[in-house]
């Protein structure tokens, strides 16, 4: 089975994990993107919402399982085909939640420009940290999509970030 190990800077990532965890805790009770099921049966809508929340919780738990003792001792997180989809979904849900809450005052155009330049001088510290989390989660998604593409050859790889 293909496995990708990514060495991350503990000093850079550890401070982000508290905020990411806080946002993940919000996803335990709030769907990442609220959707109204127009015309749907109330019971059906509630069951659907609860299943979505359960899936979000499981995906976020899977993401946080990467940041275990091994990560805090050598800075390595490992992705494989067993955890890749759940981690992708967790990152997507978390990024959507960051976008809708912590980064809501930043326009889409500003956000795209920031991703290209990382010039956050005019933003508050809380927005800077939220943006760093947003970009970190984006990078995790890109790594998974690049190295665990179903069309790529199997084999282990290690990446330094």
Neighbours of 12 (CB within 10 A): 12
Q: How far apart are alpha carbons 107 and 122 in whole angstroms?
A: 14
Residues 6+ apart with CB under 8 A from 106: 114, 123, 127, 131
The number of distinct structural domains making up the chain is: 1
Count of residues in the chain: 161
Q: How much is the pLDDT for 111? A: 86
C-alpha–C-alpha distance, residues 37 and 42, integer Å: 9
pTM of the model: 0.87
pLDDT of residue 132: 93
Tokens in use for 108?
């889409």
For every one of its 161 residues, what pLDDT tens digit does the chain have, with 9 covering 90 and above? 789 999 999 999 999 999 999 999 999 999 998 877 778 788 888 898 999 999 999 999 999 999 999 899 999 999 998 999 999 999 999 999 999 999 999 889 888 888 777 677 888 899 999 999 999 999 999 999 998 865 455 545 555 55
Judging by DSSP bridges, how do beta strands 3-7 and 157-160 pair with one another? parallel
Instruction: Specify the residue for token string 């984006």.
Output: 138
Angle 78-84-85 (CA atoms, 0-180°, nearest 5)?
A: 160
Which domain covers residue 28, as residue numbers? Answer: 3-160
Say how far apart CA 103 and CA 123 lie, in whole Å: 10
What is the biggest distance separating any 2 CA atoms in the chain, rounded to whole angstroms? 52
């Amino acid at each position: 089975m293909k496995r990708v190990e990514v060495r991350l800077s503990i000093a850079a990532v550890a401070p982000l994990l508290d905020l990411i965890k806080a946002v993940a805790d919000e996803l335990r009770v709030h769907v990442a993107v609220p959707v109204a099921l127009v015309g749907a049966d109330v019971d059906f809508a509630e069951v659907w919402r609860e299943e979505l929340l359960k899936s979000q919780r499981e995906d976020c738990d899977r993401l946080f399982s990467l940041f275990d003792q091994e990560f805090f001792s050598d800075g390595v997180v490992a992705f494989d085909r067993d955890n890749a989809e759940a981690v992708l979904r967790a990152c997507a849900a978390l990024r959507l939640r960051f976008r809708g809450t912590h980064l809501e005052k930043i326009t889409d155009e500003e956000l795209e420009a920031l991703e290209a330049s990382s010039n956050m001088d005019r933003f508050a510290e809380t927005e800077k940290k939220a943006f760093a989390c947003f970009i970190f989660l984006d990078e995790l998604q890109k790594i998974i999509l690049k190295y665990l593409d179903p069309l790529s050859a199997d084999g282990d790889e290690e990446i330094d970030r």
